[in-house]
């Protein structure tokens, strides 16, 4: 009898644990799973545009923070929607509130750790500024990488649309094919574009919203050509082929320019880092040799002048090696 009760109790505990794990996984998959994150990215991408009255009333409600009080506080800040648009363009799953909180935490850690370690307030201020800049630098880097991938995928997407048009598909269906068959990030953006058109947004407004989300020069050529074609008419499939050829030629030219300017970029990095590396090496070999630079007032003036000249030199080298196509 005791064994039967114990066995029944064990089976019941086992079933309860299994159901609990399954329930937790189902909740997590519904809230944080791949499908939920994909849907959230599409809604956030759609909310980044600003054209069309129907679109604004349906999809423009962009959440800047999960806290309503913090949301109202963020809305008081200037250019907060521009920052939100940069986050959406980067493809990072983060809100403006998350970015602000992370920046404040890193700033506080970078300031208080050197101060408590006895390094002084100056080191604390520098550490706080450096750590506080890391999140926005990461967002900008992710945005740049995503835009580059988008430009690389754009010719193939335009070719796919042209083939779909020749096969007899309508233009919205061609957009849907690109969204379904192309990988991210261009697949996500074209799915969002198709959803906006499917929800009743005008094609012109949906294309302008796409430019808001993806500020790419090549994509501007594509959008402007489509808008002109809708006004004047013509063979859309042939137009798409010509745009794809132009974008490919531009990307090829940019690749050649990157190859030719690689030596200049390497020289710029070496010239920029050489003074710091030399100073660190001298300070390690003979610490007292460079002590006069920050103990003597004239030495500090020399340091300030050297830093100013280095900043100017770095800016000038960057202008030389940066070639716009």
pLDDT at 60: 45
Nearest-10 Cα torsion for 166, 170, 173, 177: 10
Low-confidence residues of the chain: pLDDT under 70 = 1-19, 22-23, 25-71, 74-75, 324-325
CA distance 247 to 70: 43
pLDDT at 138: 92
Task: Compute CA distances 198 → 143, 156, 160, 174, 240, whole Å.
Answer: 27, 23, 20, 13, 22
pLDDT at 122: 78
For residue 135, give every residue at least 6 positions away whose Cβ sits within 8 Å of its Cβ, in sequence order, or none. Answer: 99, 102, 103, 106
Map out the domains of the chain with their CATH numbers. Answer: 64-146 (no CATH), 151-253 (1.20.81), 260-321 (no CATH)
CA Rg value for the chain: 28
Per the CB < 8 A criterion, the answer to whether 142 and 134 are in contact is: no
For residue 88, give every residue at least 6 positions away whose Cβ sits within 8 Å of its Cβ, in sequence order, or none. Answer: 44, 45, 47, 48, 213
Q: What pTM did the predictor assign?
A: 0.64
Condensed to tens digits (0 to 9), the pLDDT of residues 269-298 reads 888 888 888 888 887 888 777 777 777 788
Condensed to tens digits (0 to 9), the pLDDT of residues 208-246 reads 888 888 888 888 888 988 888 888 877 888 888 888 898
- Helical pair 121-166 and 236-285, crossing angle rounded to 10 deg: 160
3-state SS assignment for residue 306? helix
Per the CB < 8 A criterion, the answer to whether 211 and 192 are in contact is: no
Q: Residue by residue, what is the 3-state secondary structure of 102-120?
A: HHHHHHHHHHHHHHHCCCC
């Amino acid at each position: 009898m005791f064994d039967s009760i114990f066995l029944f109790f064990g089976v019941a505990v086992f079933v309860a644990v299994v159901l609990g794990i399954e329930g937790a996984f189902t909740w997590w998959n519904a809230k944080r799973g791949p499908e939920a994150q994909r849907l959230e990215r599409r809604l956030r991408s759609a909310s980044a545009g600003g054209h069309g009255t129907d679109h604004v009333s349906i999809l423009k409600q962009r959440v800047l923070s999960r806290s309503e009080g913090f949301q109202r506080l963020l809305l008081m800040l200037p250019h907060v929607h521009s920052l939100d648009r940069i986050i959406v363009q980067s493809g990072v799953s983060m809100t403006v509130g998350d970015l602000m909180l992370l920046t404040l935490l890193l700033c506080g850690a970078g300031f208080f750790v050197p101060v408590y370690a006895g390094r002084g307030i100056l080191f604390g201020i520098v550490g706080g500024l450096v750590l506080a800049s890391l999140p926005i630098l990461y967002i900008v880097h992710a945005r740049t990488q995503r835009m580059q991938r988008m430009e690389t995928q754009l010719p193939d997407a335009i070719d796919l649309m042209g083939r779909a048009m020749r096969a007899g598909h309508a233009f919205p269906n061609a957009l849907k094919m690109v969204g379904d068959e192309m990988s991210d990030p261009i697949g996500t953006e074209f799915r969002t574009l198709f959803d906006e058109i499917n929800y009743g947004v005008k094609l012109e407004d949906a294309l302008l919203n796409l430019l808001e989300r993806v500020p790419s020069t090549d994509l501007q050529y594509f959008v402007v050509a489509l808008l002109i074609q809708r006004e004047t008419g013509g063979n859309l499939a042939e137009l798409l082929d010509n745009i794809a050829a132009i974008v490919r030629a531009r990307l090829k030219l940019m690749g050649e320019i990157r190859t030719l300017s690689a030596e200049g970029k390497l020289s710029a990095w070496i010239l920029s880092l050489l003074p710091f590396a030399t100073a660190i090496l001298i300070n390690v070999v003979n610490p007292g040799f460079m002590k006069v630079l920050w103990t003597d007032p004239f030495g500090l003036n020399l340091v300030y002048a050297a830093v100013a000249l280095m900043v100017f030199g770095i800016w000038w080298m960057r202008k030389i090696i940066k070639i716009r196509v």
